[in-house]
Amino acid sequence: MINKTGINIDLKDRVALVTGSSSGLGMEIAKYLAKSGATVAIHYHSQKQPADQVANEINSNGGKAKVFGGDVSNRAEVESIFKSIDVELGPLDILVNNAGIDGKRQLCGEDNPDDWENVIAVDLMGPYYCAREAVKRMKKAGHGVIINITSVHEYIPWSGYTAYSSAKAGLSMFTKTLAQEVSELGIRVVSVAPGAIKTPINKDVWGNPTTSKDLMTKISMPRMGETSDIAEAVAFMASDMASYITGTTLVVDGGMLLYPAFKHGG
């Protein structure tokens, strides 16, 4: 696919799994990888219908997609997703660990530890379970790319979200350590860290004029990110154009990490 800057991203003959691709970023990433030529495993947790819609759209536009369901925080379910992909689509070349939750805003000590554990289970254990299944297969093939969707909160502390920030920072270190471990096997492992991108996960923020205005003070560029901003970054990282990039994070945040409060001096 020729992207908006005229660059041709070619993922022909690659099989990709995008976890949590029935909504938000995952949905856009799945569609973009398919347009770039990849066969895509659309994955959902609880809502099959939107996953079917994404797959139908891809298939009716000449691409190839199939739907797989399961909870990424459940190891047995992850193993079963990968076995089904082996049978239905063939060996996996690209894994995008996108599924994630931010959890409820709770201050430490006033929180429910079950909620904390659940965020860690989905956002850190989930990518680990998926990556270990992917590595087993990619090792045999002698190539593969694993892309972990982290967040600016792998760097920026976020009060009320200790579990989410800890999971994303942990996932970033998982990226680096795994990249080191598999670098001689032809497997690359990278992170893509989105800033504030308009999706269902943060609708309560961008859907409210007061919190939306506050959010804009935290972004250097005068806009929120679009799902396509992330999909393009992921497709690039998955492609051979990024063949010498491993163990690092590509931040796609419109300058959220630039301390925008200092923009006007002070």
Question: Please, which residue, 158 or 185, has the CB nearer to ligand NAD?
Answer: 158
Instruction: Work out how close the CB of 136 gets to ligand NAD at its nearest, in angstroms, rounded to a whole number.
Output: 20
Question: Please, which residue, 113 or 200, has the CB nearer to ligand NAD?
Answer: 200
Instruction: Work out how close the CB of 200 gets to ligand NAD at its nearest, in angstroms, rounded to a whole number.
Output: 4
Give the pairing type, strands 15-18 and 94-97: parallel
Are 128 and 97 in contact by the 8 Å Cβ rule? The answer is no
Question: What is the three-class DSSP state of 22?
Answer: coil
Q: What distance in Å separates the CA atoms of residue 102 and residue 100, rounded to the nearest whole number?
A: 7
Residues making contact with ligand NAD (CB under 6 A)? 19-20, 22-26, 44-45, 71-73, 98-101, 122, 149, 151, 194, 196-197, 199-202
Using alpha carbons only, give the angle 235, 124, 234 rounded to the nearest 5 degrees: 5
Instruction: Work out how close the CB of 22 gets to ligand NAD at its nearest, in angstroms, rounded to a whole number.
Output: 5
Question: Please, which residue, 20 or 144, has the CB nearer to ligand NAD?
Answer: 20
Question: Please, which residue, 93 or 229, has the CB nearer to ligand NAD?
Answer: 229
Q: Specify whether 244 is catalytic.
A: no
Query: Annotated catalytic residue: which of 44, 128, 161, 164?
Result: 164
Are 78 and 19 in contact by the 8 Å Cβ rule? The answer is no
Strands (E), 128-172: 144-149
Task: Please choose, from the candidates 67, 65, 48, the residue with its C-alpha nearest in 3D space to the C-alpha of residue 57.
Answer: 65
Are 49 and 124 in contact by the 8 Å Cβ rule? The answer is no
Instruction: Work out how close the CB of 62 gets to ligand NAD at its nearest, in angstroms, rounded to a whole number.
Output: 24
Residues designated catalytic: 164
